[in-house]
Amino acid sequence: MKKILFVCTGNTCRSPMAQGLCQKYISENALVGQFGCASAGLDVKKGARISENALIVMNEIGVDMSSHRAKMVTAEMMQEADCVFTMSSTHKNMLEALFPKDANKIRVLGHPIFDPYGQNLEFYRFSRDSLKDKVYTAMDEFREDLARQKALEEEEQHKAELFGGIYGRYY
């Protein structure tokens, strides 16, 4: 299973909304069991609930985030993730500094992803809709990258079998 991690600051608005949208994408595209996702933050009040307005706007599109609790990003999360999407270049830079071994899998989800924390419902809806576009596009691109990688690996395997068999006869 390929694992996606979304990271923001407090893990109460943007990254949990991105996680919920990713779960929706996975379900809509019949990818359950092939992909999984989670979210975390860089400056977290551990166990904090998703913000009330984020909960409301996600419920509006049929995504229940009521069980979400904020988590601090950990080395284990970073190691297990196949791809890490941040909400800003600042988040990306911080993760690269904290987890240099995982820098190659960290990407900024897109610009701008405004932090809706403390804003009204309309702003949260705007953020949710912006995130949906970016998460769905990123997931499409990630799946395409995986398909290209798999095709290259299969081609290399085929060449190894073909040429290994030929060369093997002469040694």
* Beta carbons of 27 and 118 less than 8 angstroms apart: no
Q: Which residues are catalytic?
A: 8, 14, 115
Strands, E, within 87-141: which ranges? 106-108
Which residues are paired to 49 by β-bridges? 69
Q: CA 3, 55, 128, 30: dihedral to nearest 10 degrees?
A: 40
* Beta carbons of 38 and 19 less than 8 angstroms apart: yes
C-beta atoms surrounding 101 within 10 Å: 9
